Amino acid sequence: MTQTIDRRRFCKLSLGAGLLATAANPSSAPILAQNNSTSNATSSFGLHKASASPIKIRSIEVLRYGQDHFIRTTSTDGAIGICVTNGREYLFPLLKELVIPYFIGKDARDLEMLVDGVYRVNSNYKLAGLAFWNCVGWVDISLMDMLGHVANKSIGELLGGVKRREIPVYISSTRRDTTPEEEVDIVGKRMAETGSKAVKMKVGGRMSRNEDAAPGRSERLVALARKTFGDRVTIYMDANGSYDVPRGIEIGKMLEAHGVAIYEEPCPFDEYENTKQVTDALKITVAGGEQDTSLARFKWITSNHALDVVQPDINYHGGLIRTAQVAQMAATANLGIAPHNPKTGAREAHLLQFASWAP
């Protein structure tokens, strides 16, 4: 049963070291398999350094405060880790029945092996995909937080060392129901309020098979945004998988003509060869990967340079460990990484921790 905790008790439980301590040869073969195993993905992050003794997991609970839900992990010695979920309460039965039981009684220092083991146990691999890995991600984040409390280290330090304490940010609009004039006005006001010098807006219609949100909206929006904001503002555009290859390239060249810096998800996210064709045809930086949960597919993407920047979502992809493995793949291929996270407030704490370490 989901439990409710009061605000004062939640703050006492959550304000600790873990979350808050610090702001090969490419193959062109078709993608045929989905291997989610972490066992051969990367070298160890050395989580046993967090403690000389085992950190046994006693309980993993789902808590609620208002409209927010949290995963609280407790060790047999009383150490606590917290993850603020990204919503999706409809996944809680999957979390409670298939994910949480596997972790109980295990040593949290073995997290790298555990996120592999929960995929294989009881044929959970038959459920591989965003819904399953999102549940694992919540547990992974809470366990990393708990390890941080025990070791008195930030998650960035646990992963291998803090490389940065500041990151550039942009404001993002998720709307397609506005006219170009309305959108530029709304975004412009937010930029003035925040001082942001970069913005991301939407083109296309979201998995829309070349249909725009409104006829001509994308072309008009891009041109108006550049004219209004000038050359000192960095502009990104997200298509959310709206296009096939010819239209994706056509839109990409239009974005290039207006000096847009990043073109996100031109083709449906699982059309990897099509995405690579678009990337190969353009000079603009092409990004994507927020919906992907397969390490093997990320390996294909990075080895074949199907994208210039990979964007795994830390929740969707199964947590910090698996996302860190994607970061290592990207670094090996000399690609960028910018994890997807549309949330704000405490829900972005794990992203900031990851960014402090990311290669």
Residue at 145 is within a domain: yes
* Phi/psi of residue 220, nearest 5 degrees: -65, -40
pTM, entire model: 0.88
Domain end point (choices 159, 182, 207): 159
Domain identity same for 209 and 296: yes
Using CA of residue 286, residue 280, residue 270, residue 240, what is the dihedral sign? positive
Place of tokens 């039981």: 101
Tell me what the pLDDT averaged over the chain comes to. Answer: 90
Residue at 7 is within a domain: yes
Residue at 181 is within a domain: yes
Q: Which domain does 90 fall in, by range? A: 3-159
Q: What is the mean predicted confidence (pLDDT) over 213-242?
A: 98
**Is 211 a residue whose pLDDT tops 70?**
yes
Q: Can you give the pLDDT at residue 278?
A: 98
The region of weakest confidence among 13-22, 87-96, 281-290, 308-317 is 13-22
Domain identity same for 94 and 183: no
Please tell me the total count of domains within the chain.
Answer: 2
Residue at 165 is within a domain: no
Domain identity same for 248 and 321: yes
pLDDT tens for each residue of 41-68: 444 899 999 999 999 999 999 999 999 9
Residue at 166 is within a domain: no
Q: CATH number, domain at 135?
A: 3.30.390.10
Q: Can you give the pLDDT at residue 9?
A: 36
Domain end point (choices 159, 189, 215): 159
Q: Can you give the pLDDT at residue 37?
A: 56
Residue at 183 is within a domain: yes
**Is 40 a residue whose pLDDT tops 80?**
no
Domain identity same for 18 and 70: yes
pLDDT tens for each residue of 254-312: 999 999 999 999 999 999 999 999 999 999 999 999 999 999 999 999 999 999 999 99
* Phi/psi of residue 85, nearest 5 degrees: -70, 165
Domain identity same for 183 and 328: yes
Give Cα separations from 176 to 53, 67, 238 (angstroms).
53, 26, 11
